[in-house]
Chain A
Amino acid sequence: MAVVAFESRRRIRSFTKNYTTIDGRSRLDYNYAQFFTYGGEMGAHLYAGSDEYVVSRPLMEIVNVAIALGKPLLIKGEPGTGKTLLAHSIAKALGKRLIVWNIKSTTKAKDGLYIYDTVQRLNDARFGDKDISDIRRYIRLGKLGQAFVSEEQVVLLIDEIDKADIEFPNDLLNELDEMSFYIPETDELIVAKHRPIVVITSNSEKELPDAFLRRCIFHYIEFPDEAMMERIVRVHFPDIEERLLREAIKKFYMIRAMDSLKKKPSTSELLDWIKALMIGGISPERVASEIPFAGTLLKNEFDVEKIGNLGKGKPAYVRFRS
């Protein structure tokens, strides 16, 4: 006996109940966004995935709440689960401009606000052929600053925030809270004209400070299960042969289940691999019995060696000495 759950027995609050729609088609999504209002004026901002990005229902709802409340959305998850793509997808689906701020280990919070190009000014002062009295000419806005002064609402992606110094997120607290910052050099206050939709991704290389976490909405993207993966692959290869798809996905999860791999293949590697299989005209039977083009799936030669035996029907012998 299986069990189905009804979403709720309580009263229906306005128009927000169990729709039987969404299958990933943009046309429908568009209609969906048009017809379902979400507490009044928010209807136009509803995000429901985009053409080439399959979003899970929970994540979709969370994105919408984050947008509605104007809170930064912090996304964590294994590599290849589409953290960065989410921001691209939101921008595309809502027709907004995307500003990407890639964080490196040397990035300082201030870089995102503005950069005062002292060296250029010094250089200009030396030759005296330019007007250096106007300090404004040497102040360039960083990515966060650009998002603030934009004439329309933008999507701001702060990518891999955990790469930076441990104090980095704390330095951004105020700016993200109030959506404004002050430039002492010019005595200017930059205030966001439209609160940007902020998406932050992290690979959890470092723990993020609590104060920062408190202000975010958090979602951990699980690695897609086989059914979800099937949908994702279909979005990229609409006319893939059914059996090839099934064999490839089965193999893929088999390889991923191996603990001793140096690098587990992720979604993007699976897509590359399937592309290679399709171009190479490999039959599903061959995929079932061996692993053609293992190099596209695994980026490490030891790993390729390890799974070499896997396809031939023998379990790979990867054990510690006993």
Chain B
Amino acid sequence: MFTRFFFLLREKGVPCTITEWLSFLEALNGGFLQTSLNHLYYVGRAFLVKNEAYYDMFDEAFREYFGGIEEIPIDLDRVLEWLADPCHLPPLTEEEMREVMERLGHVKDLLELEKEFLKRLNEQRERHDGGSRWVGTGGTSPFGAYGLHPFGIRVGGESWAQSAVKVAEERRFRNYRNDLILDTRHIKVALKRLRELKREGAMEELDLDETIDKTAREGGEIELVFKRSRENTTRLLLFMDVGGSMVPYAHLCERLFSAASQMEHFKEFRHFYFHNCIYQDLYDDMANVKRIPTDWVLSNFDERYKVIIVGDARMAPSELFEPYGAIDYFYRNEVPGIEWLRRLKERFPSSLWLNPTPKLYWSHPTVEAIGSIFPMFELTLDGLNESIRCLLSKGRRKNFT
């Protein structure tokens, strides 16, 4: 059953496995799923997709497989008008409830019910509440909303009334995809992986093994031994380009910045701005007014700091390679930008460059030159994840040598 749907899901990139598929089928065969598309959509998704990043791909597959099934156009606006501002069904006592149930309790064929619904829609001219025949609210008619009928047709109310295929077509989860531009939440998840736990700080954790060992040695006299608790030791420096060509990406950089500054887990986080390329000065503010000498940064932060530089790395070649090449007329740099970048890389071995422009546009002399100094990644979720893996593995390799 639906086996092609399984392969379609995998084709679309949903990493669902046979185990998951089997338990989905088990639920299906066990009669736990209702035979409705809505149920198949939501519950099936709960079984087969384990990350909201894949919801969109599931939607695509679902639409492709189940699209075009069972939809009948009717004049919904008119019906919804009757259903707006519902009158609620008064709470029933158990006895009343039983009575209603008995009255309504015969199972109708759904097809027949549908036909009847369409027929009644054609006949009905106005609003009806609380009754048992017309489309309305708060009653026991099989048609309408906010009422009570065991096998009725519900119109409007919640998203459930929308067909699953429609929901899938909306593709509401587009923004959760991993390969699209990311939001603050995504960035935070990615940055969190930078955590490095090391034993630092005060001796306040009881070292049980050591305590038992010592106590036994002392012949039963209890000797408590403490050790340092684990702490996050990640130190991060963020350099951001706020030059003219970065304006289209300001929004994206803003998110990265706001995510990074919200990270409470970093031992230290500092950020600096630059314009186009890094020369002898960095800036503390976006308006590039408060100068901080790059040399000061180089001498005050050590190699334990991880460095992320964000910029499009795209400029006139002279701005990067030549002395006095800076774009600002009154700014004179004796040392070319590329040299400053090399110094940064030397000082901070775990450093990398995030580029908000798509990889497609990276064939440019300055982008390539900078890419040969710093590992360069796209500023997308995949790129960010990859870059963080790179930062972490760098750190580890250094420990071996």
Chain A residues in contact with chain B, CB under 8 A? Answer: 1-21, 23, 25, 27-28, 31, 35-36, 38-39, 56-58, 61-62, 65-66, 68-69, 71, 74, 76, 78, 118-119, 122-123, 125-126, 204-208, 210, 213-214, 216-220, 222, 259-263, 319-322
**Distance, CA A56 to CA B159, complexed state (A):** 8
Q: Classify the interface of chain A: helix, strand, loop or mixed.
A: loop
Per-position binary interface string of chain B over residues 44-82, scored 1 when its CB falls under 8 Å from any chain A CB and 0 otherwise: 001101111001000000000000001111111101100
B23: interface (CB < 8 Å): yes
**Distance, CA A68 to CA B211, complexed state (A):** 48
B158 touching A56, Cβ below 8 Å: yes
**Distance, CA A261 to CA B254, complexed state (A):** 10
**Distance, CA A69 to CA B20, complexed state (A):** 13
A9 touching B111, Cβ below 8 Å: yes
A321 touching B52, Cβ below 8 Å: no
Also in contact, A17 and B110, with CB within 8 A (given A27-B91, A262-B262): yes
**Distance, CA A249 to CA B362, complexed state (A):** 44
Measured between C-beta atoms, what is the minimum distance from B32 to chain A in Å?
5
Measured between C-beta atoms, what is the minimum distance from A260 to chain B in Å?
6
B363: interface (CB < 8 Å): no
* Interface size in chain B (residues, C-beta < 8 A): 104
Closest to B77 in A: A2
User: Which of B32, B162, B221 is most buried by chain A, counting CB atoms within 10 A of its CB?
Assistant: B32
Query: Which residues in chain B, 229-271, are within 8 Å of chain A measured between CB atoms?
Result: 242, 244, 246-247, 250-251, 253-255, 258, 261-262
Closest to A39 in B: B31
**Distance, CA A305 to CA B355, complexed state (A):** 31
Q: Which of A2, A25, A27, A220 contacts B52 (CB 8 A)?
A: A220
A57 touching B242, Cβ below 8 Å: no
B369: interface (CB < 8 Å): no
B242 touching A21, Cβ below 8 Å: no
B332: interface (CB < 8 Å): no
Q: Which of A9, A12, A74, A119 contacts B50 (CB 8 A)?
A: A74
Chain B residues in contact with chain A, CB under 8 A? Answer: 15, 17, 19-20, 23, 26-27, 30-39, 42-43, 46-47, 49-52, 55, 70-77, 79-80, 86, 88-89, 91-92, 94, 97, 101, 107, 109-111, 114, 141-155, 158-163, 165-166, 172, 176, 183-185, 188-189, 192-193, 206, 208, 211-212, 215, 220-222, 242, 244, 246-247, 250-251, 253-255, 258, 261-262, 286-288
Also in contact, A320 and B37, with CB within 8 A (given A217-B47, A218-B49): no
A36 touching B74, Cβ below 8 Å: no
**Distance, CA A56 to CA B55, complexed state (A):** 17
- A-B pairs with lowest CB-CB distance, top 4: A5-B163, A320-B250, A2-B76, A58-B42
Measured between C-beta atoms, what is the minimum distance from A145 to chain B in Å?
20
Measured between C-beta atoms, what is the minimum distance from B290 to chain A in Å?
13
Measured between C-beta atoms, what is the minimum distance from A24 to chain B in Å?
10
Closest to B144 in A: A20
A214 cross-chain contacts in B, Cβ below 8 A: 17, 19-20, 50
Q: Which of A23, A123, A204, A259 contacts B184 (CB 8 A)?
A: A259
**Distance, CA A4 to CA B157, complexed state (A):** 12
Contacts A38-B32, A62-B43, A321-B288 aside, 13 further interface pairs with beta carbons under 8 A come to A3-B73, A3-B76, A3-B166, A9-B111, A27-B91, A65-B43, A76-B52, A220-B176, A259-B251, A259-B255, A260-B258, A262-B261, A321-B286
Q: Which of A12, A58, A321 contacts B287 (CB 8 A)?
A: A321
Measured between C-beta atoms, what is the minimum distance from A178 to chain B in Å?
16
B208 touching A9, Cβ below 8 Å: no
Measured between C-beta atoms, what is the minimum distance from B304 to chain A in Å?
22
Q: Which of B35, B172, B189 contacts A10 (CB 8 A)?
A: B35
B262 touching A322, Cβ below 8 Å: no
**Distance, CA A62 to CA B50, complexed state (A):** 13
Q: Which of B36, B46, B142 contacts A217 (CB 8 A)?
A: B46
Also in contact, A5 and B71, with CB within 8 A (given A18-B152, A61-B39, A65-B46): yes
Also in contact, A13 and B31, with CB within 8 A (given A3-B71, A5-B70, A61-B43): yes
Closest to B114 in A: A6
Measured between C-beta atoms, what is the minimum distance from A105 to chain B in Å?
9
**Distance, CA A206 to CA B220, complexed state (A):** 43
**Distance, CA A56 to CA B206, complexed state (A):** 46
Also in contact, A57 and B158, with CB within 8 A (given A7-B36, A7-B37, A123-B222): yes
A23 touching B88, Cβ below 8 Å: yes
**Distance, CA A259 to CA B182, complexed state (A):** 12
B43 touching A6, Cβ below 8 Å: no
Contact sample, A vs B, 16 pairs, CB 8 Å cutoff:
A4-B72, A5-B165, A13-B35, A17-B110, A23-B88, A25-B91, A39-B31, A58-B38, A65-B27, A126-B222, A205-B188, A205-B189, A210-B15, A217-B46, A220-B176, A262-B262
Q: Which of B52, B75, B148, B255 contacts A1 (CB 8 A)?
A: B75
Closest to A68 in B: B32
A222 touching B97, Cβ below 8 Å: no
Measured between C-beta atoms, what is the minimum distance from A166 to chain B in Å?
9
A28 touching B91, Cβ below 8 Å: yes
A6 cross-chain contacts in B, Cβ below 8 A: 70-72, 110, 114, 153
B101 cross-chain contacts in A, Cβ below 8 A: 35
B20 cross-chain contacts in A, Cβ below 8 A: 214
B77 cross-chain contacts in A, Cβ below 8 A: 2
A262 touching B36, Cβ below 8 Å: no
A119 cross-chain contacts in B, Cβ below 8 A: 206, 208, 211
**Distance, CA A173 to CA B236, complexed state (A):** 35
Closest to B108 in A: A12
**Distance, CA A61 to CA B189, complexed state (A):** 29
B86 cross-chain contacts in A, Cβ below 8 A: 23
B80 cross-chain contacts in A, Cβ below 8 A: 2
A204 touching B172, Cβ below 8 Å: no
Closest to B31 in A: A39
A17 touching B71, Cβ below 8 Å: no
A20 touching B254, Cβ below 8 Å: no
Measured between C-beta atoms, what is the minimum distance from B167 to chain A in Å?
9
**Distance, CA A36 to CA B34, complexed state (A):** 13
Also in contact, A320 and B148, with CB within 8 A (given A62-B42, A119-B211, A219-B46): no
B150 cross-chain contacts in A, Cβ below 8 A: 15, 17, 19, 35-36
B146 touching A23, Cβ below 8 Å: yes
**Distance, CA A15 to CA B71, complexed state (A):** 23
**Distance, CA A35 to CA B97, complexed state (A):** 9
B254 cross-chain contacts in A, Cβ below 8 A: 259-260, 320
B183 cross-chain contacts in A, Cβ below 8 A: 259
**Distance, CA A68 to CA B27, complexed state (A):** 9
B23 touching A71, Cβ below 8 Å: yes
